[in-house]
Amino acid sequence: AQSVTQLGSHVSVSEGALVLLRCNYSSSVPPYLFWYVQYPNQGLQLLLKYTSAATLVKGINGFEAEFKKSETSFHLTKPSAHMSDAAEYFCAVRKGGGADGLTFGKGTHLIIQP
């Protein structure tokens, strides 16, 4: 069965600093991996996805993630944090088979310090 572990339920960075949100996965099939962002009182918005093409994936709002099979990781990064990046971030892996849904991590709340 697929699973996702997000390290750190809360991450705090200063405005302008590097953002690093960690995600490790377990999958019995070649994984499709996703990062979603959720702003307060809103639904989930897709940031980026890995679907077995390039291992470095660029997403919206300056975020990117690198798929590392040897480390079973898919960490999310952004070179310079902005106050508007404060949100909840979720890593997810597709369960397998097109209709099976996603398995989500427990989420990381990103706090931006001025």
Partner 1 sequence: DVKVTQSSRYLVKRTGEKVFLECVQDMDHENMFWYRQDPGLGLRLIYFSYDVKMKEKGDIPEGYSVSREKKERFSLILESASTNQTSMYLCASSAPREQYFGPGTRLTVT
Q: Measured from the CB of residue 7, what is the shortest distance to partner 1 in angstroms? A: 13
Interior angle at CA 34, CA 29 and CA 39, nearest 5: 155
Question: Does residue 12 interact with partner 1 by CB under 8 A?
Answer: no
Using the contact rule CB under 8 A, the part of the chain among 16-24, 59-67, 76-84, 104-112 near partner 1 is 104-112
Question: Does residue 107 interact with partner 1 by CB under 8 A?
Answer: yes
Cα–Cα distance, 65 to 54 (Å, whole number): 11
DSSP secondary structure letters along 49-85: EE-SS-SEEE-GGG-EEEEEGGGTEEEEEESS--GGG
Using the contact rule CB under 8 A, the part of the chain among 11-19, 55-63, 76-84, 102-110 near partner 1 is 102-110
Which residue's CB is nearer to partner 1, number 16 or number 101?
A: 101
Question: Does residue 104 interact with partner 1 by CB under 8 A?
Answer: yes
> What are residue 71's phi and psi, to 5 degrees?
-105, 0
Question: Does residue 86 interact with partner 1 by CB under 8 A?
Answer: no
